Amino acid sequence: MDWAQFRTHFPVTRRWAFFDHAAVAPLSQPAADAMNAYAADLAENGVQSFERWEVHVEEIRKVAARLINADPLDVAFVANTTTGIGLVAEGFRWQPGDNVITAAEEYPSNQYPWMNLREHGVEVRSIPSRGSRIDLDDVRGLMDARTRVLAISAVEFASGFRNNLDALSELCRKNGTFFFVDAIQSLGVIPLDVQQAPIDGLAADGHKWMLGPEGAGIFWLRREAVEKLHPIGVGWNSVIGAHNFGVIDFRLKPHAGRFEGGTYNVAGITGLGASLQLLLDAGVPALQERVFALTDYLCDQAQRAGLEIFSSRTANEKSGIVSLVKRGGSHHELKKRCREAGVAINVRAGRLRVSPHAYNTFEEIDRFIECVR
């Protein structure tokens, strides 16, 4: 892969060494161009261009499905990860005494929707972290016959720990538990094949590793699981024959399309599609290899500069997120100093969080290390 050529698609590099993709990524140039083209067409033609862009949305659905090796009909566009999680949390047919398991240090969007179920008699069980890791035995110890859902991130947002989805899904299958994955910190740079990984559903906004705009993400639900969820947010677009507005015929689509109740965020989906195509053309396995090479180098240089590596860096647990600790200093002050020097990093859970993408360079990591020193 010609990474120098790949880098030319990212205008952010003119000013920044940008290592904050675990927060909100900069748009790729193809995404910006696609969104501008849609805006220009809408300004000039209004609704007369509707059919053209409707077809375009369906083409992007196919691109999103390719990313996870899914049937396009099982992919729904959502406004954000929270919306996708809510479709499961609010749609599941709960009974008093049921429980759901999630990680104690999950991002709030994968905790609050489950906590909101307590008035229905649903218990939330939290998996404690062991340092930077989540231990499979701790998950097993919390699971029982009333565990209806395990909801966990593919990669934990603060520590960068990559969960073993295969092992977790095996636990869920044996227990008859629905396995839901918040994939926002992995999709785009870490391969995920839903035909191979036996998960039941996932959600991910596109504004992190998929390099899309905020407000456009994907929700995938295994076809056999569709009837397990009572659909919420139902609207005109949820039914078979959605465009036949003059006929009321309440037959829900037999796939994830039933969760797309209303009008699409066409601008956001258009931008997301352009970035997804860029990533697929590069090849997600190649992107993962590049990101891991950059983060391995980052860890080596950070240790030389006196930083402690909090994240697990074993082969099957590392990700594009590196959590670092600088003893005797203020992480927020260091973040400020880095940003003043044109290096974008962040602070999460009281630690520095550095998250490079494949277009970043080793020289940019050296810029970060100089800020630290």
- Domain boundaries, given as residue ranges, for the chain: 3-19+283-372, 35-280
Same fold for the domain at 3-19+283-372 and the one at 35-280? no
Residue 133 has what pLDDT? 97
What does the alpha-carbon distance between residue 100 and residue 122 come to, in Å, rounded to a whole number?
Answer: 7
Q: Name the CA dihedral angle for 123, 128, 129, 131, rounded to a multiple of 10 degrees.
A: 160
Architecture of domain 35-280: 3-Layer(aba) Sandwich (3.40)
Residue 373 has what pLDDT? 85
Residue 1 has what pLDDT? 87
- Going from the C-alpha of 33 to that of each of 121, 222, 283, the distances in angstroms are 49, 33, 21
What does the alpha-carbon distance between residue 86 and residue 65 come to, in Å, rounded to a whole number?
Answer: 21
Residue 226 has what pLDDT? 97
Residue 371: closest CA among 325, 328, 335, 320 = 335
The whole-model pTM stands at 0.96
Residue 238 has what pLDDT? 98
Secondary structure (3-state) at 95: coil
Q: Which residues contact 51 (CB under 8 A, 6 or more apart)?
A: none
Q: Are 49 and 42 in contact (CB under 8 A)?
A: yes
CB hemisphere CA count around 154 (13 angstroms): 25
What does the alpha-carbon distance between residue 302 and residue 366 come to, in Å, rounded to a whole number?
Answer: 9
Q: Which residues contact 373 (CB under 8 A, 6 or more apart)?
A: 305
Ordered per-residue pLDDT tens for the chain, 373 residues: 899 999 999 999 999 999 999 999 999 999 999 999 999 999 999 989 989 999 999 999 999 999 999 999 999 999 999 999 999 999 999 999 999 999 999 999 999 999 999 999 999 999 999 999 999 999 999 999 999 999 999 999 999 999 999 999 999 999 999 999 999 999 999 999 999 988 999 999 999 999 999 999 999 999 999 999 999 999 999 999 999 999 999 999 999 999 999 999 999 999 999 999 999 999 999 999 999 999 999 999 999 999 999 999 999 999 999 999 999 879 999 999 999 999 999 999 999 999 999 999 999 999 999 999 8
Strands of 147-153's sheet in order across: 75-78, 217-221, 201-205, 178-182, 147-153, 99-103, 123-127
Architecture of domain 3-19+283-372: Alpha-Beta Complex (3.90)
Burial class (CB in 10 A: 0-12, 13-18, 19+), 248: exposed
φ, ψ of residue 242 in degrees (nearest 5): -60, -30
Angle at 186 between CA 354 and CA 7, to 5 degrees: 65
Residue 312 has what pLDDT? 97
Residue 144 has what pLDDT? 98
